[in-house]
Amino acid sequence: MQVRNKTILVTGATGGIGALLCRQLAARGARLVLNCTSPEKLSMLRAELGAEHIAIPADVSTPVGRQSIVRVCSDAGGIDGLVNLAGILDFNMFQNQESALIARILEVNTVAPVLLTRELLPMLIGRNEARILNVGSIFGSIGHPGFTVYCASKAAIKTFSEALSRELADTGVSVAYIAPRATSTALNGDRVTALNLALGNKTDTPALVAVSIADMFEGNSRRRFLGWPEKLFVHINALLPAVVHKALVKNLPIIKKHAL
């Protein structure tokens, strides 16, 4: 779907990937509804992008936050697109993770985008053409030690996207899922960056990922995995999970060392 003259809501708009994605979409002629929890970060981003864009500080994981997002979208005359990008991550061995943080990851990464999509769906279905793009992760397809809950949160979004795209096939709303690999943003923190270096994992720039997300939003594809060889590993893991299991289990001592 071409974004020119379209109104698109982006959650997580001020993040490492989000700010660059918003620059891309704005440069391609979209009017944006920008969301994250921080009013200060949003006003800086809006000052950079232009006053035609709208900022709505709100926690997407709360009913009140989503209500205010839906109200602003409605006041803006409705939206043509939604990018569910807001996300959080915690790198730790599962047995050491606090229950509250486990629940928070699932709330922000999974429950929030599912409910926001549901709450905005009447508005999107009201358009002749609309698009929902959910941002997952390569870890949504490959269960990785040290990231168990994050993996589960993104796997749910992957299957949600697939099911919803089929359910809405007789409407004007298309649903897509894009899965970046490791990307150099604040999401990862020092320990994940050190782990990626130790494991020889490649890391993309947020600029490259932002362009890929904007391109996917403007295209027709329903699913995309970013990065080579990660996209190959996704397919190997689906067909021959024992092979990937063995390779990842070999890395356990390194993963445990960095998780401490």
Residue 177 appears among annotated catalytic residues: no
- Which residue, judged by CB position, is nearest to ligand NAP in the bound state? 15
DSSP secondary structure string for all residues of 58-114 = --TTSHHHHHHHHHHHHHTT--SEEEE-------S-GGGS-HHHHHHHHIIIIIHHH
Residue of 174, 178, 184, 182 whose CA lies nearest to 225: 178
Q: Which residues bind ligand NAP (CB under 6 A)?
A: 11-18, 35-38, 41, 59-61, 85-89, 108, 135, 137, 180, 182-183, 185-188
By C-beta, is 93 or 208 nearer to ligand NAP?
208
Min. distance of Cβ 89 from ligand NAP in angstroms?
Answer: 6
Min separation Cβ 86 and ligand NAP, Å: 4
Q: Sign of dihedral through CA atoms 21, 25, 27, 30? A: negative
CB-nearer residue toward ligand NAP: 24 or 35:
35
Smallest separation (angstroms) from ligand NAP to the CB of 196? 9
**Residue 94: CB minimum distance to ligand NAP, A:** 18
Longest dimension (CA), the chain: 54
Pick the closer one to ligand NAP by CB: 80 or 204: 204
Which among 258, 242, 17 has a CA at the least distance from the CA of 143? 242
Angle (deg, nearest 10), helices 112-125 and 148-167 = 20
Q: Which is nearer to ligand NAP, 18 or 146 (CB)?
A: 18
Please tell me which residue in 139, 147, 150, 225 is annotated as part of the active site: 150
- Enter the tokens of residue 165: 């795209």
Determine how many CB atoms are found less than 10 A away from the CB of residue 250.
9
Catalytic residues: 150
